[in-house]
Amino acid sequence: MKVIGVPVPGAPLDRPYVFVKLETNAGVVGWGEATLEGKAGAVIACVNDFREFVIGSDPMQVEHHWQSMWVHSFYRPGPIAGSAISGIDQALWDIRGKLLGLPVYKLLGGPVDPRGVRGYYHAGAATRDELIKLRETAIAQGITCFKTGPGGRTWEWIDSHAKIDASVKRMAMLREALGPEIDIGVDAHAKMSPAVASIILKEIEPLKLLFFEEPCPPENARAMAKIARRTATPIATGERLVSHYSVRELIELDAVDIIQTDINHVGGISALMKVGAMAEPAGMALAPHACEGPIGGIATLHADAAMPNFLVQEICSGAQPGQKEKIWEEWLGFPAMRMVNGFFPLPSRPGLGFELDEGVFTKYPFTGSRSMARIFHDDGSVAEW
């Protein structure tokens, strides 16, 4: 087992990629991703802590290894151990698919849609003119969905009408400029209280957003449920939640419409599929978060492709590929996580669908963790990122 930290130009400084490589005595190699924002060094150490759980074992027993890492940790994993488990689990599924000669999504029972996995990019446009140009690009590329923020760097628990009005006007401009055919998701990044979120959601109901994401911290399930009862706009959350156990309260309280757990944090392919299975009978959809590297992004497509209640897949990229996407293509030999006519194509090769030479990482030496941005309110108190 090897764990490799890889910072690349064009990717956020707070999330150098953490890749896990498992080598078998049969010569089959599996890859996974354990990237965690702001905690790369801690995750690398935690992956190494799980070495004795993995070395010398049968890689086909994926569920057994997942249970052992989770239960035998005694203290239930949070985001650091959850991300470490995620990377190992993805690599085990990659090996499993390669040994059986099938893409992972076929092992999971997919694909549901032969076109691939519907996705969205981040809007990355601030003015009306920029949004109109983005709409033209979307029509030309077949993009059907974008995500953006509500405006406003920080939000107080009870905020001013001026700030609320500015946010509502921004979202109205988004809808007007992008047009009715393109779906829009808005991510509040847990910056709001139930009161502020409820006011904004009432005002923007006519915009018919695809979803409003993380209006308040996801661990506050009852606050999320309060917001959901006050609006017809679908509520989404979950990128910071670890394992399928963490979504149980959201489901029981009927607190959200869409769950967005991240394959690099939730516990890998095994846990993401369990989240989908728990959400499906509750009438909830899955729209997984993915704002890290290409291996986790590819892995999540396999899970998406086999979920009957999958909605749409995030990738933290724009409609035009940037520097990091070009690096990904150099590594993998194909444009990873780039949509074709609004869909991420599914790999046809066994396992996760790629081979990778770890030598490509040598030009990007790991230099340690970088903290996420620290945001403060005007009075100096701590604000949500």
- Residues annotated as catalytic are 189, 289
Residues 6+ apart with CB under 8 A from 126: none
157 Ramachandran zone, left/alpha/beta (phi>0; psi -120 to 50): alpha
Using only the alpha carbons of the chain, give its radius of gyration. Answer: 20
HSE-CB at 356 with a 13 A cutoff on CA atoms is 31
CA distance 105 to 349: 11
CA distance 35 to 287: 19
Phi, psi dihedral angles at 258 (to 5 degrees): -135, 130
